[in-house]
Amino acid sequence: MAVTTCLTWMQEKVLQNYFGEKQFSLLYKASVHDFSSKGLLERCSNQGPTITVIYTGDYIVGAYAQNDKEEYVFITLFVFQETEISECKIGPFQLSMVFQDNCKFCVNLEKKRMYISPETKEKLGVCGYISFQECEVFRCEDLLDKRRMEGVIELKDKLLSAIRTYKPYGDLVHQTRILLLGPIGAGKSSFLNSVKSIFRGHVTNQALVGSYTCGTSDKYRTYFINDGKNADTLPFILCDSLGLSETEEGLCMGDIPYILKGHIPDRYKFDCTKPITPGHDNYIGSPLLKDRIHCVAFVFNANSVEHLSKEMVSKIKRIQRELIKCGVVHVVLLTHVDTLDMIMKGDLVDIYSCLPVKLKLEAVHRELGFPPSNIFVVRNYTSEWELEPVVDVLVLSALRQMLWAADDFLEDLPFEETDRCVW
Amino acid sequence: MAVTTKLTWKEERSLQKLLGNISLRLLYKSSVHGNNIQNMNNKCIGQGPTITMIYLPEYTFGIFILGHYPEMGKNFKEPNNSFFFSFRKNETMKMTTAFLNSTLKITSEELRFDFAEFWSLHILSRNKNICIPKFLEEELGLPSDLSCRYSECEVFRVEGIKDDAGYISRITEATQHRNSLLEDLRDYKPYADLVSEIRILLLGPVGSGKSSFFNSVKSIFQGRLSRQAIVGSDITSITEQYRIYSIKYGIDGESLPFKLCDSMGLGEKEGVGLCVDDIPHILKGCVPDRYQFSPHKPITPKHPAFITSPSLKDGIHCVAYVFDINSMDNLSFEMRAKLIQVQKEVLNHGVAQVALLTKVKNSNEVLENNFSKMSKSMISQSQIIIASELLGIPVSKIFVVENYASEQEMDPVKDILILSALKQMLRAADDFLEDLPLE
């Protein structure tokens, strides 16, 4: 009874992206609605731009009609095979004539046969009379239309407000401390810049970003984020450390417990070869709860996370074990989600529904052991000058999840450890 | 005019959540395709499940129809499963629903839904009028005499929905049932007030989902995903401490009248996982919160943290054996032997026993449509029979759940499985308390 398209998710996505980041609504399906021009025209007239998809055994022939308003329309005829699309513009025609007889391109639904003029052979690679099994017609709409964008902006404002007014669990601390850990080049500093940019209202670049081998973040940094509108400090601090490395150049494993417990001061310069010791000049001997790390976010580049070396995977698992021992809740941030296969800006609105993202989360769960519900995808600001609400929503949603995770950590603390907060 | 819906993105998302990740595809819009039934019918017949949206001044009213739109003049001969919903256009955007059987008739003048006896709903396209019967207004919480002129009518095809009438009924009623369970659990009082709260001990192999179950329970009462008990997929047990978790109702609510006690996972070999000799002490209530277990050496009365004179409330009132449902077919001989050892200790103390099977994949099919018991197909599952025979626990004391681990949004059907299991555990604990000798 359900009326669904024959297109696979990937096929539909290739077409949607090809014609300009569209979304398709199936209006007519020949095997359900009769192989008749009447059945098609009744459903598809006055529906705005449409795309007709015709399935032969070996390839798809399609016709994209951009403007339903005009009596005569130009049609983009295309052939879609594997992931390749060849196209040819023809017209103008009266749209209804395409489903009657016509000289260059016509579809005879009753006979399940179409005709393509030899004139288009050079561009399309096919011509003549071609039998088909199925015909579907879709309305084409912009994936990121005004309505959806309004919803996204509203959601962004709601998230901003929720984070501005957020109070850590039980008022045990005034600010939540979130530590970013990840391989060099994963996007930790870019994420920092993105968060700062969102609250400032325009793109900023305080945390240096680079791709040097040893990483530009060789110091421990605790970033207080200012709320641009009110110049108030926000209720969280993002902590950035030296990147992880397979070799001896990255963050020293022995430093991690000290970071978690709050012994390491802002701007401490890490030494790859040896951890901080209590004897160090800047060592914080008696850190308070507010100095500790309340949530850890592993940051990975979504594109390279499946290709981490065995050494890196092993190191990440050792760190996880250390975090569990310290009771610190941890999540995963996958950056650069926009560079995954087929992902467009409009997809960010419903990003967890996209097949490549689902597969990526499953892969991270399988390889690194993180529960999928603790994995968030974001896109960092790297080259833009102005903010994009769809990007902001991803970053803010991830941030809110981290704050909630930190609340879980604070709630789980033994009572004795919270006493130190009594002023 | 562009062929785009008036439905707001937020309203669309509410429907998506309710109906289980569907997509809405606009088929007909009265202001574009003509405000008459013939044009509506042309575009909507043979399109599978549909939603008809009527836009009123302060409300949006919708009708979901599972079957095909009938052609004009033809009538559904049998009642069609429909449900009706409304959104109110204000800040909070509340959604109300009602699931009803109705027959749909289409003439050139109107769309008409007939309910039992004499009630019917009319949509008259020429006048842009809708008449909603009084009982439906009441059920949806609409103001009386709402019938009036609408500004727009749209029809969508619903893609991705399960093609099953029972499913529609279930999901529209699930939220209501879930909320009812939440209240029952909040208001629960232990038998004869013998203790102020029930303690439920979660016991099971490493990786069976004990800590995830706690997180899931807490997530439901908290209203957002909880990660308090850290979970992972290591081969060794993540949980090495004894934890006595209390759960609040809502973010800042009061503590609920039960606690979930999480222990180290059971290992197959000696010296791996929870020490069997620790169990009597746990059951009596001698082990304090956060006690660090050792696989090699049980706690002893000489341990500084040992609770020497535990009261009834410190002890365990119900034991839940937790298994990954997918591992039941492959439990090793060693694990079975260890479980028998463990159960012997539990039986010695007379504590109530239940079993909890986690990681079920088809949570929508576990319960009968009214959520009151497990479906027959579920009861016949071999995993449940295995658990029943292995532990000597009746099938009625074996619960199936799917913890929150993969999704990031709450699901009322999943909640019902978890809350129902919890409710039954509390009943089992009551039986234990009732059976205690008078002291």
Same domain for A34 and A20:
yes
Helix locations, A19-140, DSSP H: 30-33, 37-44, 121-124
Q: Contacts of residue B5 in chain A, CB cutoff 8 Å? A: 147
Nearest CA in chain B to A365: B233
Distance from CA of A259 to the nearest CA of B (A): 19
Same domain for A328 and A191:
yes
- Does residue A421 carry a pLDDT above 50? no
- Nearest CB among A4, A139, A320 relative to B3 is that of A139
Q: Contacts of residue B33 in chain A, CB cutoff 8 Å? A: 46
- Nearest CB among A3, A374, A414 relative to B290 is that of A414
CA atoms within 13 A on the CB side of B400: 29
Give the amino acid at B152: E
ipTM: 0.84
Distance from CA of A153 to the nearest CA of B (A): 11
Q: What are phi and psi of B74, to 5 degrees?
A: -90, 145
In a domain, B182, yes or no: no
Same domain for A229 and A104:
no
Q: Which residues contact B319 (CB under 8 A, 6 or more apart)?
A: B200, B201, B203, B283, B346, B351, B352, B353, B354
Count of A-B CB contacts under 8 Å: 106
Q: Which two tokens stand for residue B266?
A: 């059971």
Q: Which two tokens stand for residue B226?
A: 């909880």
- Does residue B62 carry a pLDDT above 90? yes
In a domain, A423, yes or no: no
Q: Which two tokens stand for residue A144?
A: 């990121």
Distance from CA of B66 to the nearest CA of A (A): 9
- Nearest CB among A25, A401, A411 relative to B228 is that of A411
- Cα B303 to Cα A415, B272, B292, B306, B309: the distances in Å are 21, 21, 11, 5, 14
- Nearest CB among B42, B163, B231 relative to A371 is that of B231
In which domain, by residue range, is A331 found? 146-417
- Nearest CB among A32, A408, A414 relative to B227 is that of A408
Last residue of a domain, one of A125, A142, A159: A142
Residues of B with CB under 8 A from a CB of A: 2-5, 7-10, 13, 21, 25-27, 32-33, 42-43, 46-49, 67-68, 157, 159, 161, 163, 212, 224-228, 230-234, 238, 290, 404-408
Task: Tell me the C-alpha distance between A264 and A257, whole Å.
Answer: 10
CB contact (8 A) between residue A372 and residue B27: no
Same domain for A127 and A211:
no
CB contact (8 A) between residue A43 and residue B163: no
In a domain, A1, yes or no: no
Which of A143-157, A206-220, B89-103 has the least mean pLDDT? A206-220
Same domain for A353 and A277:
yes
Helix locations, A300-344, DSSP H: 310-326
- The pLDDT value recorded for residue A231 is 72
CA dihedral A28, B108, B67, B59 (to 10 degrees): 100
Enclosing H/E stretch for A191? helix A188-200
- Nearest CB among B226, B233, B408 relative to A408 is that of B226
How many residues are given for chain A?
423
In a domain, A4, yes or no: no
- The pLDDT value recorded for residue B80 is 64
CB contact (8 A) between residue A25 and residue B25: yes
Same domain for B385 and B305:
yes
Cα angle for residues A336, A394, A194 (degrees, 5° grid): 65
- The pLDDT value recorded for residue A113 is 82
Nearest CA in chain A to B2: A48
- Cα A273 to Cα A247, A248, A249, A320, B159: the distances in Å are 10, 7, 8, 21, 57
Q: Which residues contact B14 (CB under 8 A, 6 or more apart)?
A: B87, B93, B95
- Nearest CB among A46, A330, A408 relative to B228 is that of A408
Distance of CA B206 to the CA centre of its chain: 25
CB contact (8 A) between residue A324 and residue B230: yes
Whether A136 and A5 have beta carbons less than 8 Å apart is answered as yes
**A295-349 tens-digit pLDDT:** 999 999 998 998 899 889 998 987 987 898 788 998 999 998 988 888 888 999 8
Confidence category of residue A156, pLDDT binned at 50, 70, 90 = very high
Task: Tell me the C-alpha distance between A4 and A6, whole Å.
Answer: 7
**Interface with A, mutate which of B8, B230, B252 (most A CBs under 10 A):** B230
How many residues are given for chain B?
439
Q: Contacts of residue A139 in chain B, CB cutoff 8 Å? A: 3, 26
For position B221, which CATH number holds? 3.40.50.300
Distance from CA of A117 to the nearest CA of B (A): 31
Same domain for A335 and A236:
yes
In a domain, B231, yes or no: yes
In which domain, by residue range, is B312 found? 188-435
Same domain for B199 and B151:
no
Last residue of a domain, one of A118, A142, A166: A142
In a domain, B181, yes or no: no
CB contact (8 A) between residue B227 and residue A329: yes
Task: Tell me the C-alpha distance between A166 and A238, whole Å.
Answer: 15
Same domain for A136 and A157:
no
Q: Contacts of residue A154 in chain B, CB cutoff 8 Å? A: 10
Q: Give me the residues paired with residue B105 across strands.
A: B75, B112
Same domain for B226 and B100:
no
- Does residue A68 carry a pLDDT above 80? no
- Nearest CB among B32, B157, B405 relative to A46 is that of B32
CB contact (8 A) between residue A46 and residue B4: no
Nearest CA in chain A to B228: A408
Last residue of a domain, one of B120, B145, B160: B160
**Interface with A, mutate which of B3, B224, B231 (most A CBs under 10 A):** B3
Same domain for B350 and B242:
yes
Same domain for A327 and A193:
yes
CB contact (8 A) between residue B227 and residue A42: no
CB contact (8 A) between residue B49 and residue A1: yes
- Does residue A217 carry a pLDDT above 70? no
Same domain for B364 and B235:
yes
In a domain, B395, yes or no: yes
**Interface with A, mutate which of B17, B161, B227, B247 (most A CBs under 10 A):** B227
> What value does the mean pLDDT of chain A take?
86
Same domain for A192 and A128:
no
- Does residue B287 carry a pLDDT above 90? yes
Same domain for B61 and B151:
yes
Confidence category of residue A364, pLDDT binned at 50, 70, 90 = very high
Give the amino acid at B304: P
Q: Contacts of residue B161 in chain A, CB cutoff 8 Å? A: 2
* DSSP H helix total and E strand total for chain A: 11, 15
- Does residue A12 carry a pLDDT above 70? yes
CB contact (8 A) between residue A154 and residue B238: no
Q: Contacts of residue A412 in chain B, CB cutoff 8 Å? A: 228
Q: Looking at per-residue confidence, does A161 or B240 come out higher?
A: A161
Whether B210 and B265 have beta carbons less than 8 Å apart is answered as yes
In a domain, B175, yes or no: no
Q: Which two tokens stand for residue A58?
A: 């070996």
Work out the percent of chain B whose per-residue pLDDT is above 70.
90
In a domain, B180, yes or no: no
In a domain, A3, yes or no: no
**B363-387 tens-digit pLDDT:** 777 887 777 777 867 777 788 888 9
Confidence category of residue B169, pLDDT binned at 50, 70, 90 = confident
Same domain for A355 and A403:
yes
Residue B248: name the closest of B179, B301, B178, B185 by CA.
Answer: B185
For chain B, what is the radius of gyration of the CA atoms? Answer: 27
Same domain for A257 and A164:
yes
Same domain for A268 and A138:
no
Same domain for B362 and B249:
yes
Same domain for B387 and B268:
yes
In a domain, A247, yes or no: yes
Whether A138 and A24 have beta carbons less than 8 Å apart is answered as yes
Same domain for B324 and B264:
yes
In a domain, A198, yes or no: yes
Last residue of a domain, one of A142, A159, A175: A142
In a domain, A422, yes or no: no
In a domain, B298, yes or no: yes
Nearest CA in chain A to B4: A141
Last residue of a domain, one of B141, B160, B179: B160
Distance from CA of B226 to the nearest CA of A (A): 7
CB contact (8 A) between residue B8 and residue A151: yes
Structurally, chain B folds into a number of domains equal to 2
- The pLDDT value recorded for residue A212 is 39
- Does residue A141 carry a pLDDT above 60? yes
Same domain for B417 and B278:
yes
**B99-115 tens-digit pLDDT:** 677 878 788 878 878 88
3-state SS, one letter per residue, for chain B = CCCCCCCCHHHHHHHHHHHCCCEEEEEEEHHHHCCCHHHHHHHHECCCCEEEEEECCCEEEEEEECCCECCCCCECCCCEEEEEEEEECCCCCCEEEEEEEEEEEECCCEEEEECCCCCEEEEECCCCEEECCHHHHHHHCCCCCCCEECCEEEEEEEECCCCCHHHHHHHHHHHHHHHHHHHHHHHCCCHHHCCCCEEEEEECECCCCHHHHHHHHHHHHHCCCCCCCCCCCCCCCCCCECEEEEEECCCCCCEEEEEEEECCCECCCCCCECCHHHHHHHHHCCCCCCCECCCCCCCCCCCCCCCCCCCHHHCCCEEEEEEEHHHHHHCCHHHHHHHHHHHHHHHHHCCEEEEEEECCCCHHHCECCCCCCECHHHHCCHHHHHHHHHHCCCHHHEEECCCCCCCCCCCHHHHHHHHHHHHHHHHHHHHHHHCCCCC
Same domain for B293 and B385:
yes
Q: Give me the residues paired with residue A293 across strands.
A: none
How far the first Cα of chain B sits from its last, in Å, is 81
- The pLDDT value recorded for residue A100 is 67
Q: Contacts of residue B406 in chain A, CB cutoff 8 Å? A: 371-373
Structurally, chain A folds into a number of domains equal to 2
Nearest CA in chain A to B50: A2
Same domain for B243 and B392:
yes
**A253-295 tens-digit pLDDT:** 899 999 998 999 998 989 888 799 899 888 999 898 989 899 9
CB contact (8 A) between residue B27 and residue A151: no
In a domain, B119, yes or no: yes
**B408-433 tens-digit pLDDT:** 567 888 899 999 999 999 989 999 99
> What value does the mean pLDDT of chain B take?
84
pLDDT, average across residues B221-242: 77
CB contact (8 A) between residue A369 and residue B33: no
Distance from CA of A340 to the nearest CA of B (A): 20
